[in-house]
């Protein structure tokens, strides 16, 4: 099972919106509504930001939103803030195994 494909880096200025893509196949992203997104600050554990493509856990800012089209899922961060600078990973349920598959990760830089 190959990792889902994410851009290595995305950057934006404070207040702007950015979008991170997560591309898989019909066996994972395209086949299920089970894509989740995680934020990881340096030396910290990952934090769930979006689940089931577009749902936000309680306590997560509504500046974070998720969507999916075909085999590609996306995470959008609107009103970019300095605290959003972190690594972001997608994960999808997959028919290849019962665990899931993570994306390659994207480093978000706030200019």
Q: Write out the residues near other proteins by the rule CB under 8 A.
A: 1, 3, 32-34, 36, 38, 45-48, 51-52, 57, 89, 91-94, 97-105
CB of 86 to other proteins, least distance (A): 13
Between 9 and 17, CB nearer to other proteins: 9
Q: Please list the residues that pair with 107 across neighbouring strands.
A: 9, 87
CA distance 15 to 78: 7
CB of 15 to other proteins, least distance (A): 29
Between 16 and 44, CB nearer to other proteins: 44
* Residue 35 CB partners (closer than 8 Å, separation 6+): 22, 29, 50, 52, 53, 66, 68, 73, 90, 91, 92
Contact 38, 47 (CB under 8 A): yes
CB of 16 to other proteins, least distance (A): 25
CB of 45 to other proteins, least distance (A): 4
Contact 110, 13 (CB under 8 A): yes
Between 97 and 109, CB nearer to other proteins: 97
């Amino acid at each position: 099972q190959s990792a889902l494909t994410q851009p290595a880096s995305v950057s934006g200025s404070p207040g702007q919106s950015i979008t991170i893509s997560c591309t898989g196949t019909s066996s994972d992203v395209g086949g299920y509504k089970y894509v989740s997104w995680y934020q990881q600050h340096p030396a910290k554990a990952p934090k769930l930001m979006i689940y089931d493509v577009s749902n936000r856990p309680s306590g997560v800012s509504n500046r974070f939103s998720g969507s999916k089209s075909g085999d590609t899922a996306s995470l959008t961060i609107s009103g970019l803030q300095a605290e959003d600078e972190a690594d972001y990973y997608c994960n999808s349920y997959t028919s290849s195994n019962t665990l899931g598959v993570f994306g390659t990760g994207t480093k978000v830089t706030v200019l």
